[in-house]
């Protein structure tokens, strides 16, 4: 009698494993983890890496100028002025997160000013290293500012509950 239950439980477990396996996958392949949706992690890593290294498409800037700009930006990130501005920006942001609610607005404004100073120091270092990139740096900076100000969609009005679904008979 016990052997029948053991055999039945083994068959049930095998059936559950087979039901969870992706279609077309060889037997014994575990199901994909949540969030993977059957895509190999290497592909996701490749996409993230290529997106990270891709050059933004800035109107009026040639790919060659963009490459020179990115190389100059990498070099500028190593300068003492930029490193100091980055540390100041990070410190101001950290401080803004830790202050009480009544001081939050002033701390956030200070953090924003420090962040702007950091970005300005990067542009200054780029232009200092290669004065021919002044126009490219201005175009890239303007593009990034307008890109970040695009509306992200209509917001829901506050205070209104979602409409109830009509009843069906």
Task: Determine, yes or no, domain membership for 100.
Answer: yes
Task: Determine, yes or no, domain membership for 126.
Answer: yes
Question: pLDDT digit string (tens) for 67-119?
Answer: 998 999 999 999 999 999 999 999 988 888 888 888 888 889 999 999 999 99
Write down the pTM of the prediction: 0.55
Question: pLDDT digit string (tens) for 12-49?
Answer: 777 767 666 566 656 556 656 655 555 555 555 555 55
Task: Determine, yes or no, domain membership for 95.
Answer: yes
Handedness of CA 51, 57, 63, 68 (dihedral sign): negative
Number of domains in the chain: 1
In terms of residue numbers, what domain contains 68? 59-139
The pair of three-digit structure tokens given for residue 160, joined into one six-digit string: 């209104």
Task: Determine, yes or no, domain membership for 54.
Answer: no
């Amino acid at each position: 009698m016990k052997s029948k239950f053991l055999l039945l439980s083994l068959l049930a477990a095998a059936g559950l494993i087979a039901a969870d396996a992706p279609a077309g996958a060889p037997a014994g392949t575990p199901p994909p983890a949540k969030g993977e949706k059957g895509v190999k992690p290497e592909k996701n890593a490749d996409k993230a890496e290529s997106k990270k290294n891709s050059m933004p498409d800035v109107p009026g800037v040639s790919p060659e100028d963009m490459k020179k700009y990115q190389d100059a930006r990498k070099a500028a990130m190593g300068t003492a002025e930029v490193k100091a501005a980055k540390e100041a920006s990070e410190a101001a942001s950290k401080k803004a997160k830790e202050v009480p609610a009544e001081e939050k607005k002033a701390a956030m404004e200070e953090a924003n000013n420090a962040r702007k100073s950091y970005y300005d120091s990067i542009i200054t270092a780029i232009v200092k290293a290669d004065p021919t990139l002044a126009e490219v740096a201005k175009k890239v900076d303007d593009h990034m500012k307008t890109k970040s100000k695009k509306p992200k969609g209509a917001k829901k009005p506050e205070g209104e509950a979602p409409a109830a679904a009509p009843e069906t008979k």
